Amino acid sequence: MSQTLTNIAAALPAMAALQPNRMAIAWPDGRGGFSERTFRQLDEDSGRLAAALTAYGITRGTRTVLMVPPSLDFFALTFALFKAGIVPVMVDPGMGLKSLKACLAEAEPEAFIGVPKAHAARIVLGWGKDTIRLRVTAGRRRFWGGTTLTKLRAGDGHRTSAMEPVETSADDIAAILFTSGSTGVPKGAVYTHGNFLAQVELLRETYGIEPGEVDLPTFPLFALFDPALGMSAVIPEMDPTRPANVDPEKIIAAIERYGVTNTFGSPALLHRVGSYGAEHDVKLPTLRRVISAGAPAQPAVLERFSRMLPEGTEVHTPYGATEALPVSSVGSRSILEETAAQTHQGHGVCVGLPVAHTDVRVIGIDDGPISAWSDDLEVPVGEVGEFAVKGKQVTRAYYGRERSTALAKIVDPDGGFWHRMGDVGYIDEHGRLWFCGRKAHRVELEAETLYSLQCEGVFNAHPDVYRTALVGVQRDGRTCPVLCVELSGDRDVDRAKTEDELRTTASGNERTRSIDTFLFHEDFPVDTRHNAKIFREKLAVWATSQLS
């Protein structure tokens, strides 16, 4: 029986046929301008690279580390790997050297494609030294051997015939994408071609994205959806591992130059660009939608950024994770007009209704594995539990981590499986999801359990507060709740007065009345991927040292 063609890379030649001469990608040329390639050029380049990689020995099923920054090479190589059925291993270079080495050892890659800096680090730090046998350098090759991207493109002196996407099934492995590791060790989520295709269709359906649009993606992995969606991708001049430090002028200039209709950015980036926009009265009339993910965005950040947008344009905040994205989505209008007030009262963060074709349930909180699904796992409407998700976009397993897979997946006797998000929250009477924090971040006291985002939302409403983080500290044999506070940096603040006000606020809300210790921190430790997920584990260690 023949397989159905579901290779995610097949979307690129389809778009090249639909709009061959339209720009597919623009990236900084290092001289203050941009270089560009059309959909036809990107399709042809990736097809020739797919053939050349296969001829070099990186063939279908070969696990291949890809460490190339956002650029033409990044796009061309990724689609070349998909076309050839090669399995890219995507590891966030900002996760830390120790975690990065562990991830690469776990993935057991056989090939490594990277810029010279990545190859030098690979040699010095011993990344994949026991398994990597094939090496491609995107740039000037030095002492580490292998071949170069330039040689592959040249085809050893003759033009290489382009490879069409290989035939795959929905269950064939397409890539291994490592989680950020914000609440533990990073794990490699196994993506199938079916997962990717489902994601593309859900993004198209949820946000009404159309071929011919122009996207400014500030997160490299999200940029990969652009060619499949028929959007032109404009790669901004920025360090993708430091979105909180982005130059707002460069982001705004790129949006204005290309008439960008869609942009994707973390809440940290929206905060920085929105603050600049408010100060300089910037308007961005071409934007049809803004998508922000990585962590919940503060209502104040959404309100400030929204001032730059035309009437009717919203900031959409999809909820999900590397293992399952998207799960739900909500727009800034709903947040600002309705749910933000409830967040400030301690109800958690509304992340909207589930996206199409996705089933979301709330089950009782349990830190152990659950072998089989049963409806009696569910808790009543409005009660906090762990989110469990089922849908075609949901990944089935972690690579090489049977224990982690068992903890995160629940087999459904009726078919398929459920993914446990590791997030706690509840579903309200309207079917909306309310996110209350990570399961690992709950603070269990003798008489009650505190959930991070429910409590933090109460304090984040204070005008002098940028963000807060609830942690548990062990003192005299019991757990004490401590609120870490990062103040707004745009004005002088009387800390003693602010602390008194926060303590008064805490005593006036049933969810926060047990919190009476407040510690001011200059700059919260956050993830490198989005600069938005707070490392509460690190703050807990810091808080313990401050109170000892």
pLDDT in tens, 190-215: 999 999 999 999 999 999 999 999 99
Query: Which residue, chain included where needed, has tokens 């993914």?
Result: 419
Instruction: Give ∠ CA 509-515-516 in degrees, rounded to 5.
Output: 115
CATH architecture of the domain formed by 208-346:
3-Layer(aba) Sandwich (3.40)
Ranges assigned E (strand) in 374-523 = 385-390, 409-411, 417-427, 433-438, 443-444, 449-450, 465-475, 478-487, 518-520
Alpha carbon 487 to its chain centroid, in Å, reads 26
Q: Give me the half-sphere count of Cα atoms (radius 13 Å) on the Cβ side of residue 6.
A: 20
Query: CATH for 8-192?
Result: 3.40.50.12780
Q: CB burial class (10 A; 0-12, 13-18, 19+) of residue 432?
A: middle
| 299-347 confidence digits (pLDDT tens) | 999 999 999 999 999 999 999 999 999 999 999 999 999 999 999 999 9
Q: CB within 8 A of 375, min separation 6: which ones? A: none
CATH architecture of the domain formed by 442-547:
2-Layer Sandwich (3.30)
User: For the whole model, what pTM was predicted?
Assistant: 0.94
Cα(274)–Cα(278) distance, integer angstroms? 6
Domain with CATH 2.30.38.10 in the chain: 358-438
Domain with CATH 3.30.300.30 in the chain: 442-547
Write out the two tokens for 335: 């947040």
Decide: helix, strand or coil at residue 82. Answer: helix
Query: CATH for 358-438?
Result: 2.30.38.10
Torsion of CA 136, 140, 141, 143, to 10 degrees: -150
Alpha carbon 268 to its chain centroid, in Å, reads 13
Instruction: Give the model's pLDDT for residue 220.
Output: 80
Mean pLDDT, the chain, rounded, equals: 94
Domain with CATH 3.40.50.980 in the chain: 208-346
Mean pLDDT of 57-84: 96
